Amino acid sequence: MFFEQVLMAVPCAIFWKDRESRFLGCNTLFLQLGSLRSLEEIIGKTDFEMPWSNRAEHYQRIDRMVLGSGKIISCHEIVSTTHGDLQVKTTKSPLIKDGEIIGTVGMFQDISDLVTALESAEAALNAKNFAERESLQKTLDLQCVLNDITEHRYYLAGKYRGVYLTRREAECLVCLSRGLTNKETAKLLKISHRTTEGYIQAVKQKFNCHTRSALIKEAIACSFLEGIKPSIPV
């Protein structure tokens, strides 16, 4: 009697079947998932008569594998209930009496929350890896542009005729236009943060701009960022 009380209270769905995959019994949680009120309602039924009938063939195939091999089989499955689909971990074992396999006994535990958490973690990791790859590609692209900046003077066009940027000023302006902070620019160019700030301030003065956005706008307007052309006054 005490064993039956424990069985009914176990927080896992437990059931047992005969060799024809007909239910012989189950615990309270399994009854609830099957939308049944008593043991009498489930005895003799098959998976085809339960809320998860859409996967009955799969469940019975696992039953036959257990009956044929006499071994325990564990798997990740989906169980449809009246309250929705559950992600479960199922374990099925041979039900043995007097040394003979007379059926199967199974149990499953709802792992839906765990699966959701793992999927969320995997999605976050994939997003992080994608962002890191994208960031690396942008850095490589920027480095290629910086490698082409080799001249000592870069003259500006339009209303800035006669004004030029030094190589370092040009490098800092390109980095700024790609969204890098002064700190990131300093690290990339291997110069100090304060030196970078000095170059950016000098560029702002040459363009007569006080903000980063205004500076980029002016650099685009005079075609500086379209293609860096060195050392010939325009």
- Three-class SS of 3-67: HHHHHHHCCCEEEEEECCCCEEEECHHHHHHCCCCCHHHHCCCCHHHCCCHHHHHHHHHHHHHHH
pLDDT of 208 strictly over 70 = yes
- C-beta separation of 222 from 160 below 8 A: yes
pLDDT band at residue 177 under the 50/70/90 scheme: confident
According to CATH, the superfamily of the domain at 2-111 is: PAS domain (3.30.450.20)
State the pLDDT at residue 230: 42
Residues of the chain with CATH 3.30.450.20: 2-111
Give the mean pLDDT of 86-111. 93
On the 0-12 / 13-18 / 19+ scale of CB atoms within 10 A, 66 is: buried
Exposure on the CB side of residue 120, measured as CA atoms within 13 A: 6
Q: Which residue has the higher pLDDT, 122 or 40?
A: 40
Residues of the chain with CATH 1.10.10.10: 135-221
State the pLDDT at residue 131: 78
Report the distance separating Cα 178 and Cα 216, nearest Å: 10
- C-beta separation of 79 from 88 below 8 A: yes
Share of the chain above pLDDT 90, in %: 43
- C-beta separation of 89 from 76 below 8 A: yes
Query: Tokens standing for 107?
Result: 């149990």
Average pLDDT across the chain, whole number = 86
State the pLDDT at residue 96: 94
Torsion of CA 106, 112, 113, 115, to 10 degrees: 100
The domain defined by 135-221 folds into Arc Repressor Mutant, subunit A (1.10.10)
pLDDT band at residue 232 under the 50/70/90 scheme: very low
Indicate the pTM of the whole model.
0.53
Exposure on the CB side of residue 138, measured as CA atoms within 13 A: 12
